Amino acid sequence: MSPPLDSTRFEQIRASGDLPSPKGTALAVIRLTRQQDVSTAELARVIGADPAFVGRLIKAANGLVAFNRRPVASVHEALMVLGLPAVRTMVLGFSLLSHYRRGACQAFDYNRFWSSSLARALAAQVFAERTRAAPADELFAVGLLGSVGELALATLYPADYAAVLEAASKPGAASLLEMEQERFAMDQCELTGAMLEDWGLPRIFIDAVAQARDPEGTHLAEGSRARRILQVLAAARGVAEICVSDDKAARTMLAARLFADAPRLGIERECIVADCERISSLWVEWGGMLQLQQPRAPRFAELFEQVEAGPGSAAAAGARAAPAVRPRNPVQLPVAPSQAEAASGEGGAHPQRALIVDDEPRTRAGLRAVLEQVHYEVHEAGDGREGMELALELQPQIMILDWKLPELDGPDLVRALRQTRIGQAIYMILLTRSDDDEHLVAAFEAGADDFIAKPLRPRVLAARLRAGQRVVRLQQEVEREHEEIRHFASQLAVTNRRLHEAALTDALTGFPNRRYAIDRIQQEWSAAQRWGRPLSCMIIDLDNFKQINDTHGHDVGDEVLRSAADALRGALRGQDVVCRTGGDEFLAICPETDLPHALSCAERLRNALDKLSLQAGDTRVAISASIGVAMREHWMPDVDALMKQADLGAYLAKQKGRNRVATVQKTGDAGGVDAAAD
């Protein structure tokens, strides 16, 4: 599990404005759902403005209603079925899919990313329905966004991330996460966690997403809700890998792993086949609705039959021989090049793209002839709304559009495109039958770059196009320079982050230091206040440490601290954070943890330390700790009050003989001071 991305670095990334984020209707929905008194009617009205979102939400809601109930047919009914948290996260995911289905990172397969995310979302939903680990609609949304950090790196650093992906695909290369850390001082898992937290997802889901890549290494308690959610997301990830893989042996191997893990997930082996067949069917259906180009859907029944055939089957032999490697880009699909990477239009490998928007076929044919003569790749649209969709999808360098268009006229289309990041880079020429000053002023005020009066004169049009090409080339040069600056800035950010991490890390134990601890517990305090969630902390004070130092020397004292840190690290839960705050004192921060569970966790830490001992010359040095535990309560004014209660607990533990856990707060079942025995 990757460590969390520090808040300062994430704020810097977010402030750049390049981080994938919701737009339009999705942004309005997310803002509304954060209000305490938002009405379903108001939310339905906002969602109703976007027909695509309406269809997707109703379809998601119908996937959750019981078979004996009538289907959901309205936005209002969908909201009642899904609930506000799921709606917020689903709308966020669908918005990102709509706006980031293409991008500038040439080595990143955007279509495969979204196909895999969709399969993971559907699998999480189906398995959640079966296991009751969490609301199925919420896990659908979590599955859809579970790898958003990968998309973010491709969006933030397209050229650098392309180089990382290409290097990671070579035989014998380091893992992708390691190479991401080396290049960017963060990896996709850290960035995913930071983005999900920023979007307000519950911590229990964020931690499960972070550990789904390696569920075997989790410290989550067996049978706990958090562990069940992790198992669902890990299984959903396996189903997604099967869906997007085009290698038969790899699919069989992945199916064997999934089949073996079915009992641990709480699903009978017969049911896992039916569930996976349903997921495959839903994946194809949703993929068509979302306009994803998917590989052929796997036949899970056949895969599981091959697994059941046993070690002697050819399929099983292929599965044993296949390496457990996720294919990076099994299906190579065309990706629209960025403005900076497009060729100049004069015979380059990637000709410039031009979009003609006119409702007269004869006019479009004449424009096409002129554009093709100067080596443009030409696309056409017959009305304003189709022109808007194609402009956002194709990202043309030049658009020629008529003043009067069905659905959306030329000036309004120019205004709408200028409000988008893609539209700001397009050179737009408006066509009109009038060349008076009023039309000229109106065209430029709408945001057009040039203005041509009908009937068209080919030589004049060609000259105007050459002028437009010069402007586009200048834009491309500016963008290339901007990309170089971003590259240098990212390198500087990596260096700064490493220096920042060094300033926040205790060199001896590798734990965060006191400065980090104070910032982090303040963040968790604010989150606990905002969302009404429990927060606990522990003061861990090593027993007789000064005596060990005085008797055996500082070398032995340092070894005691390192050994204690390793023991604490091994006994921690995934969501907990331990920092070294003083010579022999540690602070453990336990988000979403009430007092009884914090006491239980503290006892596990105490027991792990109690089992340690070191050889110092002819003497065995015992290691133990007195641990004070406290939970945030409504009467506490600030973090200092919480830490003071934990400190009093540690003092009480030492008074009672050391090597124990204590609290000065009342627990739910003890009715008074609770201190664990040795």
Whether residue 294 contacts residue 245, with contact meaning beta carbons closer than 8 Å, is answered with: no
Confidence of residue 1 (pLDDT cuts 50, 70, 90): low
Tokens of 149: 């950090």
Determine the pLDDT at residue 595.
94
Kindly state the helix (H) or strand (E) to which residue 537 belongs, with its residue range. Answer: strand 535-542
Whether residue 379 contacts residue 344, with contact meaning beta carbons closer than 8 Å, is answered with: no
Determine the pLDDT at residue 46.
80
Determine the pLDDT at residue 438.
77
Across the range 642-670, mean pLDDT stands at 88
Classify 71 as helix, strand or coil.
coil
Determine the pLDDT at residue 38.
67
Across the range 546-571, mean pLDDT stands at 89
When mean pLDDT is compared over 207-216, 343-352, 547-556, 648-657, the highest value belongs to 648-657
Report which of residues 77 and 232 the model is more confident about. 232
> Cα-flanking dihedrals φ and ψ of residue 537, to 5°?
-145, 165
State the Cα–Cα distance between residues 109 and 91, nearest whole angstrom: 23
Classify 450 as helix, strand or coil.
strand
| C-alpha pair distances (Å), 479 with each of 412, 484, 493 | 27, 9, 20
- Dihedral sign from CA coordinates of 456, 460, 466, 469: negative
| C-alpha pair distances (Å), 629 with each of 124, 205, 568, 569 | 36, 25, 15, 18
Classify 575 as helix, strand or coil.
coil
Contacts 24+ apart (CB under 8 A), 171-178: 177/2
State the Cα–Cα distance between residues 358 and 155, nearest whole angstrom: 33
| C-alpha pair distances (Å), 505 with each of 52, 176, 508, 517 | 48, 25, 9, 10
Determine the pLDDT at residue 137.
78
- Least Cα distance to 283 among 324, 329, 248, 242 occurs for 242
Report which of residues 344 and 74 the model is more confident about. 74
Q: Does the pLDDT value for residue 245 go beyond 90?
A: no
- Mean pLDDT is lowest, of 57-66, 97-106, 561-570, for 57-66
Whether residue 400 contacts residue 357, with contact meaning beta carbons closer than 8 Å, is answered with: yes
When mean pLDDT is compared over 221-225, 268-272, 338-342, 511-515, the highest value belongs to 511-515
Report which of residues 586 and 55 the model is more confident about. 586
- Pick among 1.10.8.590, 3.90.190.20, 1.20.58.2050, 3.30.70.270: CATH of 514-675: 3.30.70.270
Q: pTM (2 decimals)?
A: 0.53
Length of the chain equals 678
Determine the pLDDT at residue 315.
38
Across the range 554-560, mean pLDDT stands at 90
Q: Does the pLDDT value for residue 674 go beyond 50?
A: no
Across the range 51-78, mean pLDDT stands at 68
Overall fold of domain 353-477: Rossmann fold (3.40.50)
Tokens of 479: 């963008």
Q: For residue 433, how far is the Cα from the chain centroid?
A: 50
Neighbours of 484 (CB within 10 A): 11
Determine the pLDDT at residue 417.
86
pLDDT tens-digit map of 407-466:
888 888 888 888 887 788 888 988 887 767 777 788 888 888 888 878 777 777 778 888
Whether residue 444 contacts residue 432, with contact meaning beta carbons closer than 8 Å, is answered with: no
Tokens of 38: 């938002």
Classify 638 as helix, strand or coil.
coil
State the Cα–Cα distance between residues 198 and 407, nearest whole angstrom: 38
Kindly indicate whether the domain formed by 7-16+102-321 is annotated with CATH number 1.10.3720.10: no
Which letter, b or e, does each residue of 363-393 get, where b requires 16 or more Cβ atoms within 10 Å of its Cβ?
Answer: bbebbbebbeebebbbbbbbbbbbbbebbbe
Q: For residue 614, how far is the Cα from the chain centroid?
A: 43
Residue ranges covered by each domain of the chain: 7-16+102-321, 21-99, 353-477, 514-675
Confidence of residue 342 (pLDDT cuts 50, 70, 90): very low
Determine the pLDDT at residue 494.
65
